[in-house]
Amino acid sequence: MAKKRDTDQKNAKLRGEKAVSRRDFVKSGAAAGAAVFSTSGTALAQVSPVEAIRWDYEVDVVVIGAGCTGLPAAIRARDLGASVIIVEQNFDVGGKMLHSGGQISLGGGDPLQLRDIRGERDAEGFVTAPRQHTVEELTEDTDFLFKDHTDWSVMDAAAQAPYRYNERDLHRAYADNCYATREFLMANYVRMGRISGTHGNGGMSRARRAVTFLMEGPATDIKKGTVSRQDAGIRRVSSSHFAPRFMEDGAKVASPGARVNGAALSRCLEFSAREKGVRFILNCHMDEIIREQQFSGRVVGIRASYSPRFHPQTGARLESLWQNGNIDDRRETIYIRARKAIVIGSGGHANNPQFRSMFYPAWREPAFVSSGWALLGPRGQDASGIIAGMRIGANLAGMHQNLSYGSTFHFPGTLATRDPYTDMLPGHPTFPFRGSTGIVLGTDSFQHLIVVNQVGKRFFNEMLVTVREGGAAFPAGPGKGQPRSGLAHVQGDWRNASADNIRKTYTEPNSIHAALAINEGSKPPDYLSGPIWTIFDRAAVERDKWNINPPFTSPTNGFFFSADTIEELAAKIYKGHEFQRVPLTYLAETVAKWNSYVDRGSDPEFGRGSDAPMYRIEKPPFYAATLYPVWHDSYGGLRINGRAQVVDLQGEPIPGLYAGGEASGGGNQHGLGRALVHGYIAGTNAARESST
Amino acid sequence: MMLRAKVSCLPACDLRGHTLFIKDHTGAGAGSVGLTEFDGQTNQTSDLVMKAPVEAGEYTWVAVCPAVVKDDVSYIEARAPISFTVKPHTTSVVVWDIPSAVVVSEQFRIKVGIKCSSECGFANSRFGVYDHEGARVATGTLPGDRWPGTTGLYVAEVELDAPAGEGLYTWSIRAPEAGVGIPHADGSSSFGVRVVSRPEHLVVVEAIDKESQTPLAGARVVMHPYKAVSDERGIAEVRVVKGPYKLFVSQTRYLTFGLPVEVDADMRARAELSLEPVPERN
Ligand SMILES: Cc1cc2nc3c(=O)[nH]c(=O)nc-3n(C[C@H](O)[C@H](O)[C@H](O)COP(=O)(O)OP(=O)(O)OC[C@H]3O[C@@H](n4cnc5c(N)ncnc54)[C@H](O)[C@@H]3O)c2cc1C
């Protein structure tokens, strides 16, 4: 039987990745003569007495995390004359941003909205695509954007209110800094295409999204704005160290030859940061933020530990794509003093089962990981920035806002991989942690299979399992929970939130909750749901033309099995999947029952048959592939004010401490826009702090 | 099955090199194994792999440690019973390629696959096909070779006669019937046989790509229980009996087209399919 492992820390060890165990840090804590506190599973158990610390580095601004908040914060602080060190727990720069689609919704009359209104092209002349929106759809000011982001009335198609609970001071500042942030990006090599709609809770009333691109060229050259074909990736074949995900065609929003995604954002910011003299300590996990006294005084620095990652097959340490500006410090523990400020840009809590289960106990299931899990490793998104802030008195905000974004937790519909919310292909150094790219299925393809829980029982209409409500953004309309579309949408209108409108527009199937429910295999005290499996046969593979060969599946990663009989399949899953804690006792019975429903042409249990054709699962070999849900990005985190200062439980800023992006709460906007603006604001204010 | 034995003596003694004998339920010698390890207190054998009896049931064998003289101390013979249950191998049956609709009294064919949990050879062994009343309606014989690409699945095709009345019948396959040496628990699998009267109407379905207005070859047309696949011209012909249906047309990477239809004459239907949006990762 495969070893059943319960935490990613143990997991990481077994996979050759360094994880800090409780024993490890208790040991190091004792060595440092510091008090040891009990925490569950994260390396934050010490409070370092300031006077006893021997600082290894001293710098104006320390930035935690080289991602979407951290990079702009560092560049901005550097632009304003500060010396900056970024500590990054991963082996490379970029965080989830590197992995992202590169879609950035800003607005409020930002430079790209204005460029499109004027019908202009970009300075380099790359953007040849025509404008996508009318002048009216692009025209707004910061007050209008602020209203959109704090609109009490908007209810999405899952009857959640994504804007109502946003922190007002924070969103006022957000609206006021969108223009400057867009300009800042362009000044740091970031190229963006035409404005096209708005995404992910970026507001209902105007078009605000632009995607980042580079032009395919003979070589990758950030200054010239080009990316080689190799670096941009080959569809369904390879991605690269430069871009962990295949860069899509950007002809529609930029021009023929444009390749789009977050690599075109992340690598450009990274290039600029290195060029401007930001220094990076990679493989370095911040474990503690040190304040003069635990709950009073300024923040003075951080304690961090060495966190290298090793190739699971070769054992070689993973190295960053670019090295200039790196400080290769391999000491177990280092202390870095921040003369002016510390910026927490460590991302969210999506990969910390204990933390995320504050919102949803079912998510204490350690099998399920965050998006970007392979790229960032088990300790990316471990909530360490938030916990470090909490331990020195920070307040939290917007914790419930995890519920108001459709893809916070959902089934991405990618089978046979633990890391389903990415299309990373072989070519990136972290691909071996995924082991397989997965079989990517659209919703309709679920007609060819059944989905079962850890004991082998179906729990929902498979045609609805991956359906989710998708973000409340322009152009609004019933599909997004709103009575009116486009410019007809009215901010703050009571009809938007009326029971009548909710009845008409509610589309959330709630299938994910059925998947995570307690089942016959759930054991106290956590009653975990266990893994979810798709079951299908050879005929399904042939009918819908699925490629089930490597790298789409892996014969060894325990996420895909085949067998001549269903009984054998059940036995193989139990033996070979690390989170399958109980036998799939009911699987054979479930398949037999399903086949009888197919013969009848209807499914009395979950109502299939009227929405799509049904097929027997009968022809060997039979297959099982995981269908793992993902916690994509997280909402709720440190409370920050409009200056991106972390605020304590008395409502006072903690002197010298800034945060943004997914480490912060009170902003229900998805992803990049939020993090970039926070980073920009944080960097600006951090650099302007007086030195201590 | 695998055995391992421990031997301890009073006072403790190192019996490495000494041999243990296993006697089966008839008293006949079944094997022997040497003591190879001694931890200061207890001696232990290495693993002894033995063949289980061929009949299922409860058994008691005996491990015998013969008398020995060691370092001037003589140890008398010791015996320990070994009790175990022999279970028959389990047999799994799979059935596929069952037509979704069979016209009354017509012949149809199905494929039957049979596999032993221990991957025993089932070459030339037999299985039975039983109807909804439990009567054996056919027997099949498995071929001499395993199905290619499998680790022990034997596959045969059988021809069957459909019942004379319309309806959904549950039939079953039971195996193995005969031809296997070692005891195997019966495996069985049931399957539905949908028997219909002779179709009266022809439904011609044209599958089209909505955007390009070009034909979709290979589209799957389902009017439960009838099925067809479209040809190069995007045309599929389905012969059905009169009545209400949900017409489904689906094709890889397209959104399934669904239309309720009432068939009371020959008819044509045009199904325009749109490409399914590619899931975005942002
Ligand atoms: C596949 C995918 C596609 C996406 N597409 C889009 C999109 O198109 N548009 C959009 O708006 N959003 C998108 N997102 C979301 C967006 O990328 C994130 O929300 C955003 O990057 C969050 O920024 P952040 O600064 O909070 O975290 P990150 O960008 O993840 O950066 C955090 C960094 O901190 C590091 N870190 C964490 N803890 C520590 C520690 N203790 N010490 C040192 N370093 C630490 C991490 O390793 C990481 O590098 C996407 C995400 C994914 C995974």
Q: Is the pLDDT of residue A26 over 70?
A: no
- Tell me how far apart the alpha carbons of residues A302 and A63 are, in angstroms, rounded to a whole number: 10
Q: What is the mean pLDDT of residues A22-32?
A: 32
Top mutation candidate among A245, A434, A672, A676 for ligand 1, by most atoms within 8 Å of CB? A672
pLDDT of residue A9: 42
Residues A400 and A433 in one domain: no
Cis peptide leading into residue B88 (ω within 30°)? no
Determine the Cα–Cα distance for residues A576 and A555; give it in Å rounded to an integer.
10
- pLDDT above 70 (res A558): yes
What pLDDT band is residue A8 in, cutting at 50, 70 and 90? very low
| CA-proximal residue: ligand 1, atom 16 (nearest) | A671
> What is the whole-number distance in angstroms between the Cα of residue A632 and the centre of ligand 1?
10
What spacing in Å lies between the alpha carbon of A634 and ligand 1's midpoint? Answer: 10
> Angle between the A70-79 and A672-688 helix axes, to the nearest 10 degrees?
30
Domain with B230, as residue range(s), is 201-273
Chain-centre distance for alpha carbon A409: 10
Top mutation candidate among A44, A75, A100 for ligand 1, by most atoms within 8 Å of CB? A100
In this structure, the answer to whether residues A263 and A386 fall within a common structural domain is no
ipTM confidence: 0.86
CB contact under 8 A, A444 and B254: yes
Atom number, ligand 1, closest to the C-alpha of residue A675:
23
Residue A128 phi, psi dihedral angles, 5° rounding: -110, -15
A416: left (phi over 0), alpha (psi -120 to 50) or beta: left
- Say if ligand 1 is within 6 A of residue A285 CB: yes
How close is the nearest chain B Cα to the Cα of A316, in Å? 30
A398 lines ligand 1 (CB under 6 A): no
- How distant is the Cα of B26 from the closest Cα of chain A, in angstroms? 35
Domain annotation covers residue A499: no
Q: Would you place residue B280 in the very low, low, confident or very high pLDDT band (cuts 50, 70, 90)?
A: confident
- Same domain membership, residue B122 and residue B30: no
Are both A569 and A647 inside the same structural domain?
Answer: no
Q: Do B255 and A568 touch (CB under 8 A)?
A: no
Burial of A529 (0-12, 13-18, 19+ CB in 10 A): buried
User: Using the beta-carbon criterion (under 8 Å), do A422 and B115 form an inter-chain contact?
Assistant: no
Q: What is the pLDDT of residue A590?
A: 98
Q: How confident is the model at residue B179 (pLDDT cuts 50, 70, 90)?
A: low
Q: Which pair of structure tokens corresponds to residue B14? A: 């190192």
How far does the centroid of ligand 1 lie from the alpha carbon of residue A679, in Å? 12
What tens digit of pLDDT does each residue of A579-614 get? 999 999 999 999 999 999 999 999 999 999 999 999
Give the number of domains in chain B: 3
Closest to B65 measured CA to CA, from B1, B28, B17, B25: B17
Among B29, B52, B86, identify where a domain stops. Answer: B86
* Nearest CB to A565 within list B92, B276, B279: B92
pLDDT band for A3, please (50, 70, 90 cuts).
very low
Residues A122 and A228 placed together within one structural domain of the fold: yes
Q: Are residues B99 and B184 in the same domain?
A: yes
Same domain? A181 vs A53? no
Neighbour-count burial of B134, counting CB atoms closer than 10 A to its CB (0-12 exposed, 13-18 middle, 19+ buried): exposed
Say if CB B25 and CB B68 are below 8 A apart.
Answer: no
Residue B278 has pLDDT above 90, yes or no: no
CB contact under 8 A, B153 and A567: no
pLDDT recorded at residue B118: 87
Contact flag A568-B92 (C-beta cutoff 8 Å): yes
- Name the band, by pLDDT with cuts 50, 70 and 90, for residue A36: very low
A319 and A235 within one domain: no
Question: If residue A297 lies in a helix (H) or strand (E), which one and from where to where?
Answer: strand A296-306
Ligand 1, atom 17: closest residue by C-alpha? A97
Q: Is residue A505 part of a domain?
A: no
pLDDT for B245: 97
Is there a domain that residue A418 lies in? yes
Tell me, in angstroms, the distance from the centre of ligand 1 to residue A347's CA: 5
Determine the structural domain holding residue A112 and report its residue range.
Answer: 100-162+177-268
Query: For atom 23 of ligand 1, which residue has the closest CA?
Result: A68
Contact call for residues A624 and A534 (beta carbons, < 8 A) = yes
Looking at per-residue confidence, does A558 or B51 come out higher?
A558
> pLDDT tens, B200-221?
999 999 999 999 999 999 999 9
Contacts of B149 in chain A (CB under 8 A): 621
Nearest CB to B194 within list A566, A592, A599 = A599
Contacts of B255 in chain A (CB under 8 A): 444
* Res. A120: pLDDT tops 90: yes
User: What is residue A47's predicted lDDT score, i.e. its pLDDT?
Assistant: 63
CA distance A200 to chain B (A): 9
A43 found inside a domain: yes
Is residue A473 in a domain?
A: no
Say what the pLDDT of residue B88 is: 87
B110 and B147 together in one domain: yes
pLDDT, tens only, A37-51 = 333 344 445 566 888
Cis amide bond preceding B11, omega within 30 = yes
CB pairs < 8 Å spanning A and B: 110
**DSSP letters along A358-387, please?**
TT-GGGG-TT--BTTHHHH-TTTTSSHHHH
End-to-end CA distance of chain A: 57
The burial of A223, by beta-carbon neighbours within 10 Å (0-12 exposed, 13-18 middle, 19 or more buried), is given as exposed
DSSP B182: S
Structure tokens that stand for B66 in this block: 């013969």
Mean pLDDT of chain A: 92
* pLDDT tens digits, A432-471: 999 999 999 999 999 999 999 999 999 999 999 999 877 7
Q: Which of B278, B230, B255, B253 is nearest to A547 (CA)?
A: B253
- Domain CATH for B262: 2.60.40.4130
CA distance B151 to chain A (A): 8
The verdict on the CB of residue A225 being under 6 Å from ligand 1 is no
Convert the pLDDT of each residue in A680-690 to its tens digit: 999 999 999 99
Residue A643 predicted with pLDDT over 80: yes
For A585, counting Cβ atoms within 10 Å of its Cβ (0-12 exposed, 13-18 middle, 19+ buried), the class is middle
Residue nearest to ligand 1 atom 33, measured at CA: A65
Q: Could you tell me if B103 and B130 lie in one domain?
A: yes
pLDDT tens, position by position, A614-639: 999 999 999 999 999 999 999 999 99
Q: A529: pLDDT confidence band, cut at 50, 70 and 90?
A: very high
* pLDDT in the model for residue B272: 98
Query: Is B278 inside any structural domain?
Result: no
Please give the tally of structural domains in chain A. 3
Q: Which of A628, A643, A675 is the last residue of a domain?
A: A628
B182 and B226 together in one domain: no
- Provide the b/e sequence for A623-643 (b: ≥16 CB within 10 Å): bbbbbbbbbbbbbbbbbbbbb
For the entire predicted model, the pTM comes to: 0.91
Segment B217-229 mean pLDDT: 97
Are B150 and A610 an interchain contact pair (Cβ–Cβ within 8 Å)? no
Q: Is residue A23's pLDDT more than 50?
A: no
Confidence label for A14 from pLDDT (cuts 50, 70 and 90): very low
Same domain for B178 and B112:
yes
The residue-averaged pLDDT of A360-385 equals 96
Ramachandran angles phi, psi of A566, nearest 5°: -65, -35
Q: How many C-beta atoms surround the C-beta of residue B55 within 10 A?
A: 10
Residues A441 and A569 reside in one and the same domain: yes
Instruction: Specify if A167 maps to a domain.
Output: no
| Unique residue bearing structure tokens 């012969």 | B239
Percent of chain A whose predicted confidence (pLDDT) is above 90:
90
Q: Are A69 and A100 in contact (CB under 8 A)?
A: no
Q: pLDDT value at position B69?
A: 84
A444 and B278 within 8 Å at the Cβ level: the answer is: no
Residues of B in contact with A670 (CB under 8 A): 282
Domain boundary among B173, B196, B219: B196
Mean pLDDT lowest for which of A382-391, A640-649, B85-94? B85-94
Q: Shortest CB distance from B96 goes to which of A422, A544, A618? A: A618
- Read off the CATH number of the domain in which A536 is found: 3.90.700.10
Cβ neighbours of B246 in A, within 8 Å: 610
CA of A97 to the centre of ligand 1 (A): 5
**Which DSSP string corresponds to A486-516?**
GGG--TT-GGGG-HHHHHHH-----HHHHHT
**Chain A closest-CA separation from residue B70 CA (Å):** 42
Q: Ligand 1: does its nearest atom lie under 6 Å from the Cβ of B282?
A: yes
For position B98, which CATH number holds?
Answer: 2.60.40.10
| Alpha-carbon separation of residue A52 from A55, A285, A329 (angstroms) | 10, 21, 21
How far, in Å, CA of A652 to CA of A642, rounded? Answer: 12
Distance from CA of A591 to the nearest CA of B (A): 11
Which residues of chain B make contact with A597, given a CB cutoff of 8 A? none
A480 within some domain: no
Say which range, A41-50, A199-208, A368-377, B56-65, has the weakest mean pLDDT.
A41-50
- Are A576 and A549 in the same domain? yes
With contacts defined as CB-CB under 8 Å, which chain A residues touch B279? Answer: 412-413, 440, 442
Q: What's the CA gap between B74 and A665, in Å, rounded?
A: 80
Residue where one domain finishes, among candidates B167, B196, B225: B196
Q: Is the CB of A380 under 6 A from ligand 1?
A: yes
Whether residues A302 and A334 share a domain: the answer is: yes
Give the integer Cα–Cα distance in Å for A612 and A98.
38
Domain boundary among A611, A628, A645: A628
Share of residues in chain B with pLDDT > 90 (%): 78
Residue that the structure tokens 């300590």 belong to? A281
Reply yes or no on whether the pLDDT at A20 is more than 80: no
Q: How far is A544 from chain B (nearest CA, A)?
A: 5
Q: Tell me how far apart the alpha carbons of residues A662 and A659 are, in angstroms, rounded to a whole number.
A: 9
Chain B residues with beta carbon closer than 8 angstroms to that of A565 = 92, 94, 113, 115, 153
pLDDT digit string, tens, across residues A475-527: 999 999 999 999 999 999 999 999 999 999 999 999 999 999 999 999 999 99
The reply to whether A61 and A105 lie within a common domain is: no
CA distances, B124 to each of A33, A454, B121, B141, B145 (Å): 76, 38, 9, 6, 9
At A34, is the pLDDT very low, low, confident or very high (cuts 50, 70, 90)? very low
Q: Which of A242, A268, A294 is the last residue of a domain?
A: A268
* A679 in any annotated domain: yes
* Two tokens, residue A354: 């204990």
d(CA B51, CA A354) in angstroms, rounded, equals: 50
- The pLDDT score that the predictor gives to residue A74 is 98
Residue A431: count of CB within 10 angstroms of its CB: 20
Q: Are residues B7 and B70 in the same domain?
A: yes
In a domain, B280, yes or no: no
Of A361, A381, A351, the closest CA to residue A663 belongs to A381
Is the shortest distance between the CB of A217 and ligand 1 below 6 Å?
A: no
Q: Do A101 and B281 touch (CB under 8 A)?
A: yes
Is it the case that residue B79 has pLDDT exceeding 80?
yes
* Residue A556 main-chain phi, psi, to 5 deg: -120, -10
**What is the largest distance, in Å, between two alpha-carbon atoms of chain A?**
77
Same domain, A350 and A244: no
d(CA B142, CA B122): 7
